[in-house]
Amino acid sequence: MYSEKVMDHFQHPRNVGEIENASGVGTVGNAKCGDIMRMFLDIDDKTHIIKECKFKTFGCGAAVATSSMATEMVKGKTIEEAMQITNKAVMEALDGLPPVKVHCSLLAEEAIHAALWDYAEKHGIKIEGLSKPKSDISEGEEEEEY
Ligand code: FES
């Protein structure tokens, strides 16, 4: 039921880990399934190019695969370009997901947005089209969950 690409990214996820002193960190969660995703971005302050992107996902296989693909797609892009990367684009890059797993890809998109939101707040800038993700759970973060 999963595409080969989904299986590949699930079994060999790219960019797993953390970035020390990341420019932006976003943590999002899905209340229904309880899955959590944290995204780390290293952004060049002058060019706004995302130099590095890493993630940690405490969640299902589809969440791991979509976050892995999302980090690959975001790397090397500018903030503005990264804003164009929707969960639909991530799903297409993975050759699709079963309908019940669409919400997992949404978590990946929201994690990127949450990390960009964090970056914007720290730098006092406004990113066109970005608002605080609803599933952002970064306030009162509990480190022991990881
Ligand atoms: Fe919740 Fe996949 S089942 S993120």
Q: Is 38 helix (H, G, I), strand (E, B) or coil?
A: strand
pLDDT tens for residues 108-142? Answer: 999 999 999 999 999 999 999 999 888 888 765 55
CA dihedral 17, 40, 48, 117 (to 10 degrees): 170
- Tell me which architecture the domain covering 4-123 has in CATH: Alpha-Beta Complex (3.90)
In this prediction, residue 52 carries a pLDDT of: 98
Average pLDDT, the chain: 93
Can you give the residue ranges of every domain in the chain?
4-123
- The DSSP H or E segment spanning 89 is helix 87-93
In this prediction, residue 140 carries a pLDDT of: 52
In this prediction, residue 1 carries a pLDDT of: 83
Q: Does residue 33 have its Cβ closer than 6 Å to ligand 1?
A: yes
In this prediction, residue 146 carries a pLDDT of: 44
Structure tokens that stand for 87 in this block? 């969960």
Residue stretches of the chain with pLDDT short of 50: 144-146
- Beta carbons within 8 Å of 16's beta carbon, 6+ residues apart: 54, 55, 56, 68
Substitution candidate for ligand 1 out of 1, 10, 35, 135 with most atoms within 8 A of CB: 35
